[in-house]
Chain A
């Protein structure tokens, strides 16, 4: 019981409550604003949390992550512009419902299903994370290497335009992780005689550049977009009878979301789309989807919030990020001096309960925000982009600079931003690159140790059934895009 009490007591301190509440408010606001995203907010927040104690810092980020997913639904419903990608599916039925004068009801359904999905996934998280961590304690370097390779291969299945480009991004991230002095031999690699690169590439400026500056440049071409705003007087909570009729849909979507969230690299967006499709598949009123049906709102909302909790399972238990946002949380953990993975949970179990408590708090706060603040958060979309993005740029410059009070980091941030813009233009995602950057060190360390164990005989790795299992999954992941392409072609041929 001690770790539970310790974990929760950390959250009962006033300072920590304020920080988590701040995380929730920033998250909802960022989620509500089209263009701004949770990963971007976490990237911008990271340098300022480095001066905080690790647990409140990570708890604040976890709360922001949950809230960012929820915040997107407000604008998806009220202005048909999903503030965050996971809310794309919510807009399909949320906006039509709002348009016919039931905006309050749509917000209520989204809020309650988000809370349910979030809490269900957190219950899975609190059980699964320590269990998985206990299993992972048995892992040796070969198993870790296979797991990390499997996680990287998941990039092929990650949301985005192209599996191949996701894999290239991920590999570039892995390569970036090699910059600096090689720890085993002390040899400089890719430092180009720049002393600042000896320690490797700093996470913070790269993250800020890729997520904030890249998006800023993309936004500069969309300044003239005008959106119609539907006024929501108040949020209307669903009745008990309505909730009862939607119970199965919420539970199903929560399960789907949690499972998808646990898969490395998959995140809330995929969960929301699958949640929506499954809600439609099981519905007796399929034809009503797209016209403002309650199932079309609760399906994706329960799933995308459940994915947030699910994604924390591999992140904390294995040190393998479950999504783009959790990759950033993992980066923050590393910057705070932790080595994420099973040892973290076994040595500091109170950490797990503090994160659980923060995310639970965030989920419960959605009810209060939905009831009292939905109208306000929908108004933040009225802030002109001409003021919003200079503010983001200002924070980006300060964030990059303050991480080590060095202008070199500001230059790195800018270069990363320019590269991020062109990457995005050509279909390369920023999130896979960050995941590669985070996993790069783990892959190299475990690979080197495995080669030492097996005396440079790569095939000897296959002696371990766990390694074989992860390699088999890796092959499945890498072949899936080609397999689905083949399946689609067969379908098209049959249709023709």
Chain B
């Protein structure tokens, strides 16, 4: 079976259906503008230095210029789909479908693993990743997973700690090679 590729070509009726302002891009744009506003406020809290020391360029000046540029670009975003559709580009291709449930589960798994890494230590973290992630992603061959979860972390740990002198935190259980 050949790789199934879902192709969705944009057309002008799509653009007309969306209208002048792209609703999703509007939300993204507002989020960016909110971030810009917060960071711009932050720049006003930077310490001021004497003009002589700053050589007329206060530390806040450059970030403020960049933030203004980002804000200007973000203001154009909700309308960009009109131009993109005319150029035959489909900006919604990746986001048309909702985020896959497995992607959300994987995100939660990554957060959990990274959050517990300091407690587990590097070797145990690697073992947990190699043991649980294949199962999470639907692998059912337990023997394969067990071999992988044993051989891979131990090999990686040995190569990096012994050959490349990378320090691996042993965690609260003190497990390291």
Contacts and interface: CB of A to CB of B under 8 A. Distances in A.
A226 B169 CA distance: 39
B84 interface: yes
A149 B134 CA distance: 45
A220 B102 contact: yes
Given A171-B66, A175-B66, A390 B103 contact: no
B94 A393 contact: no
Given A162-B91, A228-B2, A427-B94, A489 B86 contact: yes
Interface string B1-30: 111100000000000000000001100100
Nearest to A222: B100
Interface in A45-100: 48, 51, 79-81
Contacts of A284: none
B156 interface: yes
| Interface of A, helix, strand, loop or mixed by DSSP | helix
Nearest to A413: B114
Contacts of A131: none
Q: How large is the interface on A (under 10, 10 to 19, 20 to 34, 35 or more residues)?
A: 35 or more
Interface string A149-178: 000000000000110110110011011001
Interface string A215-249: 01110110101111000000000000000000000
B17 to A, nearest CB: 18
B3 A394 contact: no
B172 interface: no
B172 to A, nearest CB: 13
Interface stretch (A329-337, A363-371, A478-486): A478-486
Contacts of B129: 390, 393-394, 397
A175 B39 contact: yes
Interface string B112-126: 011001100010011
A211 interface: no
B32 interface: yes
A461 to B, nearest CB: 14
Contact of B152 (A213, A394, A410): A394
A482 B84 CA distance: 10
Contacts of A402: 160, 166-167
Interface in A442-496: 444, 447-448, 451-452, 455-456, 481-482, 484-485, 488-489, 492
Contacts of A213: 110
A227 B137 contact: no
A257 to B, nearest CB: 24
B175 interface: no
B139 A387 contact: yes
Contacts of A182: 59
B110 A417 contact: yes
Contacts of A425: 94-95, 99
Interface stretch (A184-192, A267-275, A348-356): A184-192
A282 B74 CA distance: 41
A269 to B, nearest CB: 15
Contacts of B46: 187-189
Contacts of B59: 182, 184-185, 187, 189
Contacts of B106: 216-217, 220
Interface in A388-442: 389-391, 393-395, 397-398, 401-402, 405, 407, 410-411, 413-414, 417-418, 421, 424-427
Nearest to A436: B66
B10 to A, nearest CB: 11
B144 interface: yes
B142 interface: no
Contacts of A175: 39, 63, 66-67, 70
Interface in B83-99: 83-84, 86-89, 91, 94-95, 99
Contact of B86 (A225, A227, A485): A485
A37 B153 CA distance: 23
A394 B130 contact: yes
B34 interface: no
A385 B137 contact: yes
Contacts of B117: 397, 401, 407, 410
B2 A80 contact: yes
Nearest to B49: A185
Contacts of B95: 425-426
The 3 closest A-B pairs by CB, nearest first: A221-B100, A386-B139, A390-B133
Interface of B: 1-4, 24-25, 28, 32, 39, 42-43, 46-47, 49, 53-60, 62-63, 66-67, 69-70, 73-74, 76-77, 80, 83-84, 86-89, 91, 94-95, 99-100, 102-103, 106-107, 110-111, 113-114, 117-118, 122, 125-126, 129-130, 133-134, 137-139, 144, 148, 152-153, 156, 160, 164-167, 169
9 contacts: A164-B73, A187-B46, A189-B43, A216-B106, A386-B137, A389-B137, A398-B156, A425-B95, A447-B62
Interface of A: 48, 51, 79-81, 161-162, 164-165, 167-168, 171-172, 174-175, 178, 182, 184-185, 187-190, 213, 216-218, 220-221, 223, 225-228, 384-387, 389-391, 393-395, 397-398, 401-402, 405, 407, 410-411, 413-414, 417-418, 421, 424-427, 444, 447-448, 451-452, 455-456, 481-482, 484-485, 488-489, 492
Given A394-B129, A448-B55, A456-B57, 7 more contacts: A161-B84, A161-B91, A227-B3, A390-B129, A427-B94, A451-B55, A492-B86
